[in-house]
Amino acid sequence: MTEPAPSGESAAAVGGPRSAGEFGELRADRIIGTVERLRQRIGERFPGSGLGRVCAELGRIAAETAQSVPVLSRPIWALRVAAVVGVTVLVGAAAWLAVAIFRVSTEVGNASDALQGADAALNDVILLSIASFFLLSLETRVKRRRVLRSLHRLRSIVHIVDMHQLTKDPEHLLTPGRSTASSPDRVLSRFELARYLDYCSEMLSLSSKLAALHVQYVNDPVVHDAVNDIETLAASLSNKIWQKIMILDSVLPLAAADPPRAPAKRRS
């Protein structure tokens, strides 16, 4: 039931100028173009629908992501300079303290005092190592927090798309006339229902691509795990959607269903 993609456009959103690395990485501009085309298709097929507004929000997130993720690969010089200065100060203070303890231990000439001084110096080294690690990893943690905030928005979009397709069940087409007073309104024909579900599946796929775009610029295991979680969630929900589409294709073929409404002027 998937409609052919327009010429030159791919939901995978990869590529660029013809070169050896054409398919080497995701292209943010291609993803944005694909999301915008999907928004137009939804608007033409289902004018004023909530799914169209969700797709518009996904387009805004895609535009913001395209601007923010390239910055993540650049160094934050203020944090790096602060980390180097901090580590230098800590190393200098630890060296001065170690020299002072050694002099005191030598002057006293007591073995027990010397051992106490060595133990204090060892504790200083441990504290210095912890403080140095904190300062040197500060830039990574700042970038990680920014990425996780962006990925949280994409995860929310995935769940919202799932909520929109939740009541789009082919059961009402197979056994009509069994709705109750609390049943949701189901006015879509067989063709429209298949299109609606297909649009939901495409939005889930595009959300995964936007999530994967982050790992091209931030090489962090926590970010990788968060992106993998979103991709797994989107793939699981997409499989659920395609089970509904397969039911429509196998039990209620398009030729036997009600004819769809007149399509819009532009192909969607």
Task: Please give the average per-residue pLDDT across 244-260, as a whole number.
Answer: 68
Phi then psi dihedrals of residue 110, to 5 deg: -105, 130
Mean pLDDT in the chain?
Answer: 77
Please report which confidence band the pLDDT of residue 162 belongs to, taking 50, 70 and 90 as the band edges: very high
Residue 135 vs residue 142, higher pLDDT: 142
165 found inside a domain: yes
2 has pLDDT over 60: no
10 found inside a domain: no
Same domain, 92 and 156: no
Same domain, 117 and 130: yes
What pLDDT was estimated at residue 168? 84
130 found inside a domain: yes
53 found inside a domain: yes
Same domain, 216 and 170: yes
What pLDDT was estimated at residue 120? 65
Same domain, 133 and 162: no
Same domain, 223 and 166: yes
43 has pLDDT over 50: yes
Residue 102 vs residue 17, higher pLDDT: 102
What pLDDT was estimated at residue 105? 58
What pLDDT was estimated at residue 40? 95
What pLDDT was estimated at residue 172? 73
* Domain count for the chain: 2
Please report which confidence band the pLDDT of residue 166 belongs to, taking 50, 70 and 90 as the band edges: confident
- Cα 105 to chain centroid, rounded: 57
Same domain, 207 and 116: no
Same domain, 201 and 147: yes
202 found inside a domain: yes
Residue 47 vs residue 108, higher pLDDT: 47
Burial class (CB in 10 A: 0-12, 13-18, 19+), 259: exposed
Please report which confidence band the pLDDT of residue 187 belongs to, taking 50, 70 and 90 as the band edges: confident
Residue 38 vs residue 8, higher pLDDT: 38
What pLDDT was estimated at residue 21? 56
Task: Please give the average per-residue pLDDT across 132-143, as a whole number.
Answer: 74
> Which sign, positive or negative, has the C-alpha torsion 181, 186, 190, 193?
negative
224 found inside a domain: yes
243 found inside a domain: yes
On whether the pTM is more than 0.95, the answer is no
Same domain, 65 and 84: no
When mean pLDDT is compared across 58-62, 66-70, 112-116, 239-243, the lowest value belongs to 112-116
Residue 240 vs residue 84, higher pLDDT: 240
What pLDDT was estimated at residue 174? 73
Which helix (H) or strand (E) segment holds residue 250: the answer is helix 221-251
pLDDT in tens, 48-107: 889 999 999 999 999 999 988 887 777 666 766 776 777 777 777 767 766 666 666 555
Same domain, 47 and 110: no
What pLDDT was estimated at residue 241? 92
Same domain, 246 and 114: no
Same domain, 170 and 228: yes
How far apart are alpha carbons 204 and 183 in whole angstroms? 26
Domain assignment of residue 96, given as a range: 77-138
Q: Which residues contact 65 (CB under 8 A, 6 or more apart)?
A: 28, 150, 210, 213, 214
**Exposure string over 126-151, b if 16+ CB within 10 A, otherwise e:** eebeebbeebeebbbeebbebbeebb
pLDDT in tens, 198-224: 999 999 999 999 999 998 888 888 989
15 found inside a domain: no
What pLDDT was estimated at residue 38? 95
Same domain, 216 and 158: yes
